Chain A
Amino acid sequence: QVQLQESGPGLVKPSETLSLTCTVSGYSISSGYSWGWIRQPPGKGLEWIGSVYHSASTYYNPSLKSRVTVSVDTSKNQFSLKLSSVTAADTAVYYCARDVAAAGTFDYWGQGTLVTVSS
């Protein structure tokens, strides 16, 4: 059974960098597919942030591209998100997910982690 688990600080100060890691179990990232991050502000809808292929190629939401870095560490079976220059608008539940088609279909998701941006 494929499982994903997000980890990282739950509180980030404005203007700093948000960093999260997703640990995958039950499937080897190096075997294929792509791996993505999606967020959901409290009480609002879903927003895709960016994804990374198992080969480490990346693609990002154009609206966030200047602030986002997604990377993969196949040796640890993890992938990571960095979002720079955060503001209160970046407060959200952040989900990691597997993109089974490597083109935008997310079949396995982590439970999500709430990140609050506040001083």
Chain B
Amino acid sequence: DIQMTQSPSSLSASVGDRVTITCQASQDISNFLNWYQQKPGKAPNLLIYDASNLETGVPSRFSGSGSGTDFTFTISSLQPEDIATYYCQQYDNLPALTFGGGTKVEIK
């Protein structure tokens, strides 16, 4: 299986801050990477697909970049409604889809 390592596991930032989360794959996955947001008690919500494409309706303050083994997810200006856990997920190695361990984002 391809292992997805997310860091940090949690972070605390102020409203308006730039927030960056990284995801590292254990082998080359090209750009076959998605990012999801999960608010407490809710289902995950697709934000970014194919590493850098913004899902329809998702605010432009969210972005993704990277290819190969190293990926970055960025919130350009943290808002109170962005409090959630964020997961990366690879889909290069079907049928073994795997998620990262998650990054919990809190407001300082």
B102 proximity list for chain A (CB < 8 A): 45-46
Q: Closest A residue to B32 by CB, please name it.
A: A104
B87 proximity list for chain A (CB < 8 A): 45-46
CA distance A99 to B5 in the complex (A): 23
CA distance A112 to B55 in the complex (A): 21
State whether A47 touches B94 (Cβ < 8 A): no
Residue A95 is within 8 A (CB to CB) of chain B in the complex: yes
Q: Closest B residue to A36 by CB, please name it.
A: B97
State whether A106 touches B46 (Cβ < 8 A): yes
Q: A105 touches which one: B1, B38, B91 (CB < 8 A)? A: B91
B32 proximity list for chain A (CB < 8 A): 104
State whether A45 touches B101 (Cβ < 8 A): yes
- Selecting from A9-17, A24-32, A58-66, the interface stretch reads A58-66
Residue B34 is within 8 A (CB to CB) of chain A in the complex: yes
State whether B94 touches A112 (Cβ < 8 A): no
State whether B43 touches A59 (Cβ < 8 A): no
State whether A61 touches B46 (Cβ < 8 A): no
Q: Tell me how many residues of A have a C-beta within 8 Å of chain B.
A: 24
CA distance A63 to B32 in the complex (A): 21
B99 proximity list for chain A (CB < 8 A): 45-48
State whether A60 touches B55 (Cβ < 8 A): no
A107 proximity list for chain B (CB < 8 A): 46, 55
List residues of A (76-119) whose CB comes within 8 Å of B's CBs: 95, 97, 101, 103-107, 109-112
Q: B96 touches which one: A38, A46, A61, A111 (CB < 8 A)? A: A61
State whether A62 touches B95 (Cβ < 8 A): yes
Contact pattern, B 12-35, Cβ under 8 Å of A = 1, otherwise 0 = 000000000000000000001010
A105 proximity list for chain B (CB < 8 A): 34, 46, 49, 91
CA distance A27 to B34 in the complex (A): 23
CA distance A106 to B87 in the complex (A): 13
B98 proximity list for chain A (CB < 8 A): 48
Query: Chain B: residues with CB nearer than 8 A to chain A?
Result: 1, 32, 34, 36, 38, 42-46, 49, 55, 87, 89-91, 94-102
